[in-house]
């Protein structure tokens, strides 16, 4: 992504969405991958980018790992009395997930110390069917390692059920 790692500049919400859409378009237009063979995966902040891209483009399915409903909910978790007007970024997956009409698999660790489990559930509740939510053990960045069997098994079952594996 632009402005991350060794890239120059400052990261922006719009820039993140633009970069992810460009990567998606590259797969389709340059590499010849059919959209119905693309499963969009996003973890944490990447979940917001994944929801954004699949809400605008055709793809086979969406997998959201340890993500959240929107920036206001995240800000209020850490700063309960913050006025929403002070939150300049939106990261509004909650409104965008309603435009996703593809199968969605959610993962979230109950003991996530960065993104509250309840915000992952809130995003799941707003999603259209078909959808599935798998609760993992572990922390924010390690649920897939601490609960490897549930993570990989859940992903495999989801992809098989949707005819993608």
pLDDT of residue 112: 96
Q: Shortest CA distance to 156 belongs to which of 132, 125, 140, 139?
A: 132
Residue 4 CA to residue 115 CA, distance in Å, equals 20
pLDDT of residue 59: 98
pLDDT of residue 28: 98
Q: For residue 68, count other CB atoms closer than 10 A to its CB.
A: 26
Distances in whole angstroms, Cα of residue 12 to Cα of each of 18, 19, 42: 10, 11, 17
Q: Is the dihedral of CA 110, 114, 116, 117 positive or negative?
A: negative
Helices (H) and strands (E) in the chain, counts: 7, 4
CATH of 38-161, one of 3.40.50.1820, 3.60.20.10, 3.90.245.10, 3.20.20.80: 3.40.50.1820
Write out the two tokens for 1.
């992504």
pLDDT by 10s per residue, the chain, length 165: 676 677 777 789 999 999 999 999 999 999 999 999 999 999 999 999 999 999 999 999 999 999 999 999 999 999 999 988 889 999 999 999 999 999 999 999 999 999 999 999 999 999 999 999 999 999 888 888 889 999 999 999 999 999 999
Whether 145 contacts 138, CB under 8 Å:
yes
Buried b (16+ CB within 10 A) or exposed e, 96-118: bbeebebbbbbbbbeebeebbee
């Amino acid at each position: 992504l632009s402005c991350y790692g060794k890239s120059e500049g400052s990261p922006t919400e719009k820039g993140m969405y633009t970069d992810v859409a460009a990567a998606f378009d590259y797969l389709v237009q340059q590499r010849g991958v059919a959209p119905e063979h693309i499963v969009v995966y996003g973890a944490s902040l990447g979940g917001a980018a994944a929801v954004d891209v699949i809400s605008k483009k055709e793809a086979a399915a969406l997998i959201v790992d340890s993500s959240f409903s929107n920036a206001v909910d995240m800000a209020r978790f850490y700063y309960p009395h913050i006025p929403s007007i002070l939150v300049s970024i939106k990261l509004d997956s909650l409104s965008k997930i309603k435009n996703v009409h593809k199968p969605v698999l959610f993962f979230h660790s109950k003991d996530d110390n960065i993104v509250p489990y309840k915000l992952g559930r809130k995003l799941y509740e707003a999603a259209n069917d078909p959808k599935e939510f798998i609760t993992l053990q572990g922390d924010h960045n390690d649920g897939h390692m601490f609960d490897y069997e549930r993570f990989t098994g859940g992903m495999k079952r989801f992809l098989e059920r949707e005819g993608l594996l």
